Each structure stands twice: as C-alpha cells, then as structure tokens.
Amino acid sequence: MTGDLRLAGKVAFVTGGSRGIGAAIVRRLAHEGAEVAFTYTRSADSAEALSTALATEQRTAFAIRADSADPDAVRNAIAATIAKFGRLDVLVNSAAISVTGPFPEYALEDFDRMVATNIRPFFVAAQAAARHMQAGGRIIAIGSTVADRTTFPGASVYAMTKAAVASLIRGMAIDLATRGITANTVQPGPTATDMSPDAGPHAAYLKGLVPLGRLAKADEIAGLVAYLASPEAGFVTGATLTINGGLGA
C-alpha cells in the first residue's frame, strides 16, 4: 500500500464500495489521503467493518446505504457526501451485477434489471457528480474486458452493459473537457474477490484464459483507479484502460 498522500484534500464517492474491487478502491483512495464516501446495498456488516478499519488508521470512509438501481437514492447519497465534506472531486462507479445465461433463453426481466443496475445508475451518478465538480474532477467507471471480447458463453447482456458504460464515458469526456474534468474507464479481467476467490470452482478455468496465469488482485485494480484519480492523470481522458493479464491480447 502506498504511503503517498497525492489525494490529500480530495473527496471521493465510490458506488458499490463495501466489497470486492469497490472496497479495495475505497481503501486505496483513503490511504492516498482522500476523504471517501461509499455506497452499499445489503452488505451492512462489510461496510461498517471497512469504515471502522480505516478510522483506526486515521483515514475517512463514510458508508451510505443506497440502492444503485434507485436514482433518487444515488442522487441523495451524492448530496449527503457533499453535505458532509463540502465538495466532490472523484466519482468511481463500481456497483454492478452479472446475470448470465444463454441468449435464446435470456429473460427480459433480467435484461431490464441489468440495464437498471449497470448502466442507468452510472449515468445518474455521473450527471449528479459532474454538476458539483470543479476543474480537476475525475469520473472513473469500472467496466470489464468482456466489453471488448466476450470470452465465455452466457455473458452477452453483461458485456453489452459494460460496453455501454465505456461508450458513455467517451462521450462524457468530450462534454466535460472544457471544464477540466476527466472521464475514463478501467476494464479489469478476471479478478480474485470474495465472490470469485482465487481457489474458487471457476478459478482454474479463468486462469487458463489469462497469459500471466493468475487472477488479478483487487488492489491492482485499485492502484490503476488511484492513478486516474491523481494529478498525474490530468491529460488522460476518454480512455479505456485494460488490466487483464494479457487476456485476449
């Protein structure tokens, strides 16, 4: 973990920050000096544990219960962040779900739920956050390499939602450039989390797809996010940055 406080004085808002990649991002941004608010839906114990652990390290992480599929909840969470910290500099959208299944039998209800959870909340959050950001603001979406290469069956709709997010980011980057706000997508490959552990039932198959022969660590994804949130990334915008161990290279 870096000891560099390059995000000191910044306020970050992370959706889906209580577990997995989202929690790693919250920890990394906080350790780099940012005051961080993050949302969770059902993982209250995980959210509380993360906030408490960072508080013992003299870092700030403010947990907000908000269903990402509820636009008002997302807007209210951003408003609560600004009310608490007085500003907003970084938005990271990590909240997402994956409902897989063969395309011919894929239920329309699942399609609608994927769009309502993976695409619409990011649009809502980014629009609300951008209204409060000053020059130097950062909008970062966590996408997936399946947006470019759908490497396993049943992932067509999930891939579509992640491709939509990357496309939205590119247009957003152009619209926000005149205000000095950047917008970028991070596309992880297979990553070890509590929901997809390194020794889980699908790990061997996933590792076999990756030239480096392993799953990504959540901290590695968080490191790339922290770079994009930092002053060093001021000229990076509209980019899709892949971190997948060479998958599909």
CA pair distance 220, 142, nearest whole angstrom: 13
Helix (H) or strand (E) holding 216: strand 216-217
> Which sign does the torsion angle of CA 82, 52, 222, 233 carry?
positive
CA pair distance 167, 165, nearest whole angstrom: 5
Cβ neighbours, 10 Å, residue 227: 18
The active-site residue out of 40, 158, 205, 227 is 158
Q: Is 158 a catalytic residue?
A: yes
What are the tokens at 69? Answer: 């599929």
Query: Which residues, 6+ apart, have CB-to-CB distance to 17 below 8 Å?
Result: 23, 25, 26, 36, 38, 39, 40, 47, 50, 61, 63, 92, 94
Query: Which residues, 6+ apart, have CB-to-CB distance to 52 below 8 Å?
Result: none
End-to-end CA distance of the chain: 28
CA pair distance 178, 180, nearest whole angstrom: 6
Query: Which residues are the active-site residues?
Result: 158
